[in-house]
Structure 1
Amino acid sequence: MVEKVTATQKAIQLIQHLKKIHGDLMFHQSGGCCDGSSPMCFAKDDFLIGDADVLLGTIGETPFYMSKAQYQYWKHTQLIIDVVPGRGGMFSLEGPEGVRFLTRSRVFTVEERNSLK
Structure 2
Amino acid sequence: MAVSRVDVTPAAAELIRSLRGRHGPLMFHQSGGCCDGSAPMCYPAGEFRTGGSDVLLASLEVEGVAEPVGFWMSASQFERWRHTHLTVDVVPGRGSGFSLEAPEGVRFLIRSRVLTPSELAALD
Equivalent AA in structure 2 for residue 65 of structure 1: W
> For the structure 1 residues 45 and 36, does the alpha-carbon distance in structure 2 shift closer, same or farther, using more than 3 Å as the test?
farther
Q: How many aligned residue pairs are there? A: 117
Q: Does 1:102 align with 2:106?
A: no
Using the TM superposition, give the Cα deviation of residue 89 of structure 1 relative to its aligned residue in structure 2, in angstroms: 3.9
State the one-letter code of the partner of 1:83.
V
Tell me which residue corresponds to 2:34.
Answer: 33
- Structure 1's consecutive aligned runs of 4 or more residues displaced over 3 angstroms after TM superposition are none
Match of 1:23 in 2: 24
Q: Which has the higher helix share?
A: 1
Q: Structure 2: how far apart are the matches of 1:53 and 1:14?
A: 25
Normalising by structure 1, we get a TM-score of 0.93
- Using the size of structure 2 for normalisation, the TM-score is 0.88
Question: Which 5+ residue runs of structure 1 have no aligned equivalent?
Answer: none
Taking the aligned partners of 1:30 and 1:96, their CA distance within structure 2 comes to 18
Residue pair 2:35, 2:97 contacting (<8 A) in 1 also: no
Deviation at 1:36, TM superposition (A): 5.6
CA distance, structure 2, for counterparts of residue 112 and residue 90 of structure 1: 32
Identity in percent: 55
User: How many angstroms apart in 2 are the aligned matches of 1:16 and 1:33?
Assistant: 26
Residue in 2 that maps onto 1:111: 118
1:5, 1:57 within 8 Å by CA — same for their partners in 2? yes
Task: Name the amino acid aligned to 1:112.
Answer: E
> Structure 1 residues 30 and 52, CA, compared in 2 at 3 Å: closer, same or farther?
farther
Aligned ranges 1:68-87 → 2 under 5 Å? 68-87=75-94
Residue 87 of structure 1 deviates from its aligned partner by 0.7
How far apart in 1 are the matches of 2:27 and 2:96?
14
Q: Which runs of 5+ in 2 are unaligned?
A: 63-67
Structure 1 vs Structure 2 CA RMSD: 1.3
**Amino acid aligned to 1:47:** F
Give CA-to-partner distance per residue, 1:14-58, whole Å, 9 cap, x none.
000000100001000131333362100001121111100000102
